[in-house]
C-alpha cells in the first residue's frame, strides 16, 4: 500500500477558492513575515535576547497546513517555530512578550523563542532539542484517541531532525498503533551550516515513510495552495482514522540558521536567487493577481492591517514588565 512517495501538484486553477480563505492565507503569511522581520531587526538591535531562528521563506508551509486544523487540534513545533505558532492562532502580543523575556509572555518569560508554547491554541511547545518533539506529539495523538476524541496532531521537523532516532521510534509507534498524527518535514535544504544532502541518506525524506507502512507525500512547500490541498486530504483521512502519514514540504531557509549567523557556508547570490524566484509570498501575490481572484488593493489592505498588528505586538513587548527575581522558583513544582 505504501510505495514510493506521491508528488502532489499545485491546483490548476484557484478561481474556485473562497475569498476569505485567500485572504486568510495572505494574512497569515504576511503576519509571519513581518513578525520575523521585526524579530531579526530587534534582535540585531540588542532588544531581543537569547537564540532566535526565523521562518522567513517557509511561511506557505505552516500556513497551508494550519489552515486545515481546528483550534482543538494539536501541533508540536521546533526551534524554528514562530510561524507555526502564529498560524495556529497564538496572540501576537503575548508571543512577542515571551520572545522579549517579559512577564506577560505565554511562559511568563521563562521560555523564550526556543521554548515557547501556547496550550490555549493547542500549541504543545517548541523544542530546543532537535527531534525532541516527535515522541511527545505521538503521545498527544495517543491520548486523543484514548479519550475518544477526533483531534489530529501535527508534528513539524526539519530535514536535519529527520536523522534523529526519535523520528524512527515515534514513526514506528504511531504507525503500529494507527495514531492520528501527521509528520511534516519542512525540508529547507539546510541543517544549520550543513547542506542536508551531505548528511542524509535519501534525496526525499518522504521515502522513509514506506519503512513504517505509512503514506509519504511530497509537495512544493512554497506553494500555499499545493500545501493546503495536500494537507487537507491527509488531515481529513487521519481524522477519519487512516493512521499516520508523512508529508515532506520542499522549501528553502532564506535567513541564516539563527539571527546573526554570518552564513560562511553559502553565498548571498544563492540565497537571493531562491528568494527572487521562489518566495512563497511573492508567488502567492503573482498568482492571485494573475488569476484575478484578489486585487492589489485587497492585498495592500491586509498588509497594512498586519503591519499594525505586529507593530502593536512589538510595542506591547517593549513596554511589558520583566519578571521579578522572586518568580524564579515559581512553577518548578505544581
Partner 1 sequence: MREITFSQATLEAMDEEMSRDETVFVMGEDIARQGGIFGQFKGLPQKFGFDRVKDTPITETAIVGAGVGAALAGMRPVVDMHFADFMGVCMDEIFNQMAKIHYMFGGQKTVPVVLRAPDGLINQAAAQHSQSLEAWFMHVPGLKVVIPSNPADAKGLLKSAIRDDNPVLFFEHKALFRMSGPVPEEEYLTPIGKAKVVREGKDVTLVSYSLCFNTCLKAAEMLDKEGISVECVDLRTISPIDKNTILESVAKTTRLAVVHEAVKQGGVGAEISAIVAEEAIDYLDAPIVRVGAPFTPVPFAKPLEQAYRITPEKVADAIRKMF
Q: Could you tell which of partner 1, ligand TPP, none binds residue 80, using a CB distance below 5 to 8 A set by kind?
A: ligand TPP
Q: How far is the CB of 251 from ligand TPP (least distance, A)?
A: 9
User: What's the CA gap between 89 and 43, in Å, rounded?
Assistant: 23
* Helix or strand (DSSP H, E) at 77: none
Cβ 36 vs Cβ 310: under 8 Å: no
The site partner of 66 among partner 1, ligand TPP, none (C-beta below 5 to 8 Å per kind) is none
Task: Please report, as residue ranges, which positions from 265 to 294 form the binding site for ligand TPP (by CB under 6 A).
Answer: none
Task: Find which of partner 1, ligand TPP, none residue 83 binds, CB within 5 to 8 Å per kind.
Answer: none
Site for ligand TPP, residues 115 to 134, rule: CB under 6 A = 128-131
> Does 192 help bind ligand TPP (rule: CB under 6 A)?
yes
Residue 165 CB, shortest distance to partner 1, in Å, is 7
Extended beta strands in the chain, E state:
6-8, 74-76, 153-158, 181-187, 190-191, 194-195, 216-220, 245-250
Helix and strand numbers (H, E) in the chain are 10, 8
Contacted entry of partner 1, ligand TPP, none for residue 256, CB cut-off 5 to 8 Å set by kind: none
- Which of 190, 225, 228, 252 is the binder for ligand TPP (CB under 6 A)? 190
Picked from ligand TPP, partner 1, none, the partner binding residue 227 (CB below 5 to 8 A depending on kind) is none
Q: How many CA atoms lie within 13 A of 86 on its CB side?
A: 36
Q: Which of 31, 42, 250, 253 binds ligand TPP (CB under 6 A)?
A: 253
**Which residues of this protein are in contact with partner 1, per CB under 8 A?**
74, 76, 105-111, 115-120, 124-125, 127-129, 132, 134-144, 146-147, 165-166, 169-170, 172-173, 176, 330-334
Cα(299)–Cα(313) distance, rounded to whole angstroms?
21
The grid cell for 260 is 546573526
Nearer to partner 1, 177 or 275 (CB): 177
**Biggest distance spanned by C-alpha atoms of the chain:** 59
CA distance 246 to 167: 11
Task: List Cα–Cα distances, 242 to 66, 167, 177, 216, 232, in angstroms.
Answer: 19, 20, 11, 13, 14
Question: Could you say which residues in the range 157-186 bind ligand TPP, by CB under 6 A?
Answer: 158-161
Binding residues vs ligand TPP (CB under 6 A): 53, 79-80, 128-131, 158-161, 188, 190-192, 253, 257
Amino acid at each position: 500500500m505504501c510505495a514510493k512517495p506521491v508528488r502532489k501538484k499545485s491546483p490548476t486553477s484557484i478561481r474556485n477558492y473562497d475569498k476569505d480563505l485567500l485572504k486568510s492565507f495572505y494574512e497569515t503569511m504576511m503576519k509571519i513575515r513581518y513578525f520575523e522581520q521585526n524579530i531579526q531587526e530587534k534582535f540585531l538591535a540588542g532588544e531581543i535576547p537569547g537564540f532566535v531562528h526565523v521562518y522567513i521563506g517557509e511561511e506557505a508551509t505552516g500556513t497551508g497546513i494550519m489552515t486545515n486544523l481546528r483550534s482543538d487540534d494539536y501541533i508540536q513545533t521546533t526551534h524554528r517555530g514562530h510561524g507555526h505558532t502564529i498560524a495556529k492562532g497564538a496572540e501576537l502580543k503575548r508571543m512577542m512578550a515571551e520572545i522579549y523575556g517579559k512577564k506577560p509572555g505565554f511562559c511568563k518569560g521563562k521560555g523564550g523563542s526556543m521554548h515557547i508554547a501556547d496550550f490555549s491554541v493547542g500549541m504543545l511547545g517548541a523544542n530546543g532539542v532537535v527531534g525532541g518533539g516527535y515522541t511527545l506529539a505521538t503521545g498527544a495523538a495517543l491520548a486523543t484517541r484514548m479519550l475518544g476524541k477526533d483531534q489530529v496532531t501535527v508534528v513539524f521537523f526539519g530535514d536535519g531532525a529527520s536523522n534523529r532516532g526519535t523520528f524512527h521510534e515515534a514513526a514506528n509507534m504511531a504507525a503500529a498503533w494507527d495514531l492520528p498524527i501527521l509528520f511534516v518535514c519542512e525540508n529547507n535544504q539546510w541543517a544549520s551550516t550543513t547542506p542536508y544532502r551531505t548528511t542524509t541518506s535519501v534525496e526525499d525524506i518522504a521515502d522513509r515513510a514506506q519503512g513504517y507502512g505509512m503514506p509519504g507525500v511530497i509537495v512544493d512547500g512554497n506553494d500555499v495552495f499545493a500545501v493546503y490541498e495536500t494537507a487537507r486530504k491527509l488531515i481529513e483521512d487521519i481524522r477519519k482514522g487512516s493512521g499516520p502519514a508523512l508529508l515532506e514540504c520542499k522549501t528553502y531557509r532564506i535567513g541564516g540558521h539563527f539571527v546573526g549567523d554570518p552564513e560562511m557556508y553559502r553565498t548571498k547570490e544563492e540565497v537571493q536567487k531562491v528568494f527572487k524566484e521562489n518566495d512563497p509570498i511573492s508567488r502567492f501575490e503573482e498568482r492571485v493577481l494573475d488569476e484575478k481572484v484578489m486585487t492589489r488593493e485587497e492585498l495592500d489592505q491586509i498588509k497594512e492591517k498586519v503591519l499594525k498588528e505586529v507593530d502593536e505586538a512589538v510595542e506591547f513587548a517593549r513596554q511589558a514588565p520583566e519578571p521579578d527575581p522572586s518568580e524564579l522558583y515559581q512553577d518548578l513544582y505544581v
